[in-house]
């Protein structure tokens, strides 16, 4: 093999890992693919003969690419990230598709990705690379143009915000499903009291509605406020198909052969603590639903 073949082979060994990093950084599957492609271009133009840890080098490169993309979003004046639902990864209830296992290796749910979007780009980079992928601070520091100590502070600040806003799902998927089943039973019956009973007192409901006159982003807090949406849940529950969304129980709703919403539950402590719904029909039309359609 020539040098190009060797470089290509090394890159392909790390492709899934790089895509996982980029997805956590950007919350967009298509942009994650763009970031991975840009990383490949940079690798192909760089002499890496002195690089001892190619995996680490590629991780920092894709991190830098993603940081630049996040900052570019703000420079162009695009809509705030916190008003846009991250792209969901949809699988059948039988388990995560093998193609997506690396992408979701540390159970990165929609609720967590929503919180990550509220972080400053440099905070997000420090948190993702260090806390999720164990990259040392002295390797992250040059990317954000800070000292290792200052980079550590970025990650610490991000960590506090994430822990305060994103509950960690119950690790037992079967227990999650029991809670979601109780939610669905209450929703189908329009039973307000039963809905309140299965919802955490501080639950957050987030809905990305797309470009609607009423506004793109709906967010409600508290069990009573969320349970008052019982009629919406009742309509949804009648036609919902159970799925996994980013590895946790979710729902797929269709009408007239088209997907109208994808929702993901976050269950912790025996209660639904977050319910995130993507109802932007334009974005839903771009989702990879191959695994679900085969089921």
- pLDDT tens-digit readout, 270-288: 999 999 999 998 888 888 7
pLDDT confidence bin for 97, thresholds 50/70/90? low
Alpha-carbon torsion (71, 115, 181, 238), positive or negative: negative
Condensed to tens digits (0 to 9), the pLDDT of residues 131-165 reads 999 999 999 999 999 999 999 999 999 999 998 77
CATH number of the domain at 3-81+110-165, please? 1.20.140
Q: Quote the pLDDT of residue 105.
A: 66
pLDDT confidence bin for 6, thresholds 50/70/90? confident
Q: Quote the pLDDT of residue 99.
A: 65
Measured CA distances, 183 to 59, 137, 155 (Å): 40, 42, 36
With 0.85 as the threshold, say if the pTM is over it: yes
pLDDT confidence bin for 292, thresholds 50/70/90? confident
Of 169 and 61, which is predicted with more confidence?
61
Measured CA distances, 77 to 73, 74, 80, 81, 228 (Å): 6, 5, 8, 11, 35
Ranges 6-15, 40-49, 179-188, most confident: 179-188
Mean pLDDT, to the nearest integer, of 12-26? 94
Which single residue is written with the structure tokens 């409901």?
A: 205
Q: Quote the pLDDT of residue 217.
A: 84
Give the Cα separation of 260 and 203 in Å (integer): 23
The answer on pLDDT for 178 being more than 70 is yes
Which single residue is written with the structure tokens 């305060």?
A: 164
Please provide residue 211's backbone torsions phi and psi, each rounded to the nearest 5 degrees.
-85, 75
pLDDT confidence bin for 60, thresholds 50/70/90? very high
CATH number of the domain at 173-294, please? 3.10.450.50
**Cα 128 → chain centroid:** 12
Q: Quote the pLDDT of residue 81.
A: 57
- Which of 112-121, 124-133, 253-262, 285-294 has the lowest average pLDDT? 285-294
Q: Residue 219 pairs with which residues in a beta bridge?
A: 206
Mean pLDDT, to the nearest integer, of 234-240? 82
- Which of 30-39, 93-102, 131-140 has the lowest average pLDDT? 93-102
Q: Quote the pLDDT of residue 156.
A: 96
pLDDT confidence bin for 78, thresholds 50/70/90? low
pLDDT confidence bin for 1, thresholds 50/70/90? very low
Average pLDDT over the chain reads 87
Residues of the chain with CATH 1.20.140: 3-81+110-165
Mean pLDDT, to the nearest integer, of 189-203? 94
Which single residue is written with the structure tokens 């319910």?
A: 275
The answer on pLDDT for 22 being more than 60 is yes
Residues of the chain with CATH 3.10.450.50: 173-294
């Amino acid at each position: 093999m020539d040098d190009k073949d060797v470089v290509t082979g090394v890159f392909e060994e790390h492709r899934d890992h790089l895509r996982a990093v980029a997805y956590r950084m950007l919350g967009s599957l298509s942009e994650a693919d763009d970031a991975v492609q840009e990383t490949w271009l940079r690798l192909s133009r760089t002499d890496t003969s002195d690089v001892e840890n190619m995996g680490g080098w590629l991780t920092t490169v894709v991190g830098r690419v993603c940081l630049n993309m996040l900052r570019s979003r703000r420079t162009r004046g695009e809509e705030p990230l916190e008003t846009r639902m991250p792209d969901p990864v949809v699988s059948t209830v039988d388990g995560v598709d093998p193609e997506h296992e690396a992408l979701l290796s540390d159970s990165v749910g929609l609720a967590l990705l929503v919180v990550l979007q509220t972080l400053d780009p440099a905070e997000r980079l420090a948190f993702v690379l260090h806390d999720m992928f164990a990259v040392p601070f002295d390797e992250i520091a040059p990317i954000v143009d800070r000292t290792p100590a200052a980079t550590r502070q970025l990650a610490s600040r991000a960590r506090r915000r994430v822990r305060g806003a994103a509950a960690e799902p119950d690790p037992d998927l079967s227990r999650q499903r029991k809670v979601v089943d109780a939610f669905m039973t209450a929703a189908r019956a329009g039973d307000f009291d039963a809905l309140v009973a299965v919802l955490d007192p501080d639950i957050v409901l987030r809905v990305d509605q797309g470009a609607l006159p009423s506004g793109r982003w709906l967010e409600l807090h508290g069990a009573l406020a969320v349970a008052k949406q019982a009629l919406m849940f009742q309509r949804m529950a009648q036609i919902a198909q159970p799925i996994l969304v980013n590895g946790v129980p979710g729902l797929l709703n269709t009408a007239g052969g088209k997907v109208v919403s994808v929702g993901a539950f976050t269950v912790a402590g025996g209660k639904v603590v977050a319910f995130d719904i993507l109802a932007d029909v334009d974005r839903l039309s771009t989702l990879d639903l191959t695994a679900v359609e085969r089921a």
